[in-house]
Structure 1
Amino acid sequence: MTRSSWIAAGVLVALALAVLLVPAVAQLDQQLVDLRSANRAPSLAHPFGTDEVGRDVLLRVIYGLRVSLLIGLVAALVSVTVGAVAGLAAGVLGGAADRVIMRVVDGFNSVPHLLFGIFIVALFSPSPTAVVASVGLTHWTTAARIVRSEVLTLRARPFVDAAISGGSGRLRVVRRHFLPHLLPHIALASVLMVPHAIWHETALSFLGLGLPPHLASLGNMINDGARSLLAGNWWASLFPGLFILLPTLAISVLVQHWRDRANPRRRSELQL
């Protein structure tokens, strides 16, 4: 692994340890209001400062990151699962089924994801379930196209023709030949979807349509901090924004390393 990959892995491990251990060890209420400590700048007592009602920004960032990561992971899993099933069905069945599924994919892609997500969330009250449904139902098309493309490529391979000629049914071909080749691509799509889902949740929460206002999330914190910017309280929005960028950049670096490892020819071309 390169130095940047090690740094990215270290950042993700540190963030994971923070969201897992700090709430259990600190035993502090991130909703605790202390008006006497309101809008305090970063200091030793409050490294990230306090917000407009005196809540510690560092503690709320850790709680918010935990909520955003959990929602991002679940939403990415739902999105990639729906897309993988649709793409696999289109590639395996072919014919009219393939055309219908891909027209549905084109229809979903023709609508801006954020607007469609807002429409889905508006059908429910603000909750994690609504955000997961919004991301899962608007971002599955990418995984569907990837899986369908790989299945069409695999169908042209000689070993698949040999399996079909030997009497193997569709389910056996999918289980024995397609899935082992598709799993790395599905895993990569899942990893790439996590930061995208986090940004989607952040955007919805910032607009007041994602998570309930009382629930600490990075989007809610940026929305709350935006009201304090005119008063010069920059820290209330800056630190939640940084903790959105950190996992996104770290995951991007690791995915790039993963791609280079999976495709040595591409890596050698990049080094020329």
Structure 2
Amino acid sequence: MFARTMMGMRLSLVIGLVTAGLSSLIAVVLGAIAALGGSVADHIVSWLIDLFIGMPHLVFMILIAFVAGGGVKGVILGVGLTHWPSLARLIRAEIMKLATEPYVEVSRRTGFGRLRVFWSHILPQVESLIVV
């Protein structure tokens, strides 16, 4: 019984880690686009987040898993593609707050582009939020 439990737990841990990684990646990309891309990008991403939060979560997850063919791949895609909106909203708010910090403003005025400022100043500050 213990061996069967360990084998099942191994699969569950793999599914959990892959889906968390996929969901976090989507959330970071969309949160950064919303916070740093300007008002049009912010409105589009915020609308997309609200759309996903407003949908019935379980039904959408089952639909994605069914379309993906079921199995482990379907579960990973279903969970990974439906669990990003709340993290994206949180990351967006944190990046918008960090974008007004003095050290970010100084780095922008010294000639760094948005992407370099994001990678060197903002992402390290948001990293703990992503990991949790």
TM category (shorter chain) comes to over 0.9
What is the distance in 1 between the residues matched to 2:65 and 2:120? 39
Name the one with the larger helix percent: 2
1:122 aligns to 2:66 (yes or no)? yes
2:126 is aligned with 1:154: no
Deviation at 1:124, TM superposition (A): 3.1
What do you get for the CA RMSD once the two structures are aligned? 1.1
Percent identity for Structure 1 against Structure 2: 37
CA distance in 2, matches of 1:124, 1:149: 32
Deviations 1:230-259 (A, max 9, x none): xxxxxxxxxxxxxxxxxxxxxxxxxxxxxx
Secondary structure at 2:7 match in 1: helix
Match runs of 1:170-189 below 5 Å: 170-188=114-132
Q: What do the CA deviations read for 1:124-144 (whole angstroms, capped 9, x no partner)?
A: 332111111001110011221
Deviations 1:1-50 (A, max 9, x none): xxxxxxxxxxxxxxxxxxxxxxxxxxxxxxxxxxxxxxxxxxxxxxxxxx
Give the equivalent residue in structure 1 for 2:107: 163
State how far apart, in whole Å, the 2-side matches of 1:158 and 1:86 are.
24
Which blocks of at least 5 consecutive residues in structure 2 are unaligned?
none
Letter in 1 for 2:131: A
2:40 matched residue in structure 1 = 96
In 2, Cα distance between the equivalents of 1:123 and 1:91? 32
1:67 Cα deviation after fit:
0.7
Q: Which runs of 5 or more residues in structure 1 are unaligned?
A: 1-56, 189-272
1:139 is the counterpart of 2:83: yes
Report the alpha carbon displacement of residue 102 of structure 1 after superposing the two structures with TM. Answer: 0.7
Displacement of 1:182 after TM fit? 1.1
Separation (CA, whole Å) in 1 of partners of 2:42 and 2:113: 19
Task: Give the TM-score normalised by the residue count of structure 1.
Answer: 0.47
Task: Classify 1:135/1:159 alpha carbon distance in 2 versus 1 (closer, same or farther; 3 Å).
Answer: same
1:87-129 CA distance string (max 9 Å, x none)? 0111111210010011000000001211110111111332111
Match for residue 72 of structure 1?
A: 16
Whole-Å separation in 1 of the counterparts to 2:77 and 2:92: 23
Higher relative contact order (CA 8 A, sep 6+): 2
1-side partners of 2:62 and 2:119: how far apart?
Answer: 37
Give the number of equivalent residue pairs.
132
Q: Does 1:82 align with 2:26?
A: yes
Q: Secondary structure at the match of 1:125?
A: coil
Residue in structure 2 matched with residue 111 of structure 1 by the alignment: 55
Higher Rg: 1
Aligned equivalents of 1:124, 1:100: Cα separation in 2: 26
1:7 is aligned to: none
What aligned pairs does 1:1-272 form with structure 2 within 5 A after superposition? 57-188=1-132
Separation of aligned partners in 2, 1:185 and 1:94: 22
Whether the 8 Å contact between 2:68 and 2:77 is mirrored in structure 1 is no
Aligned residue for 1:178, secondary structure, equals: helix
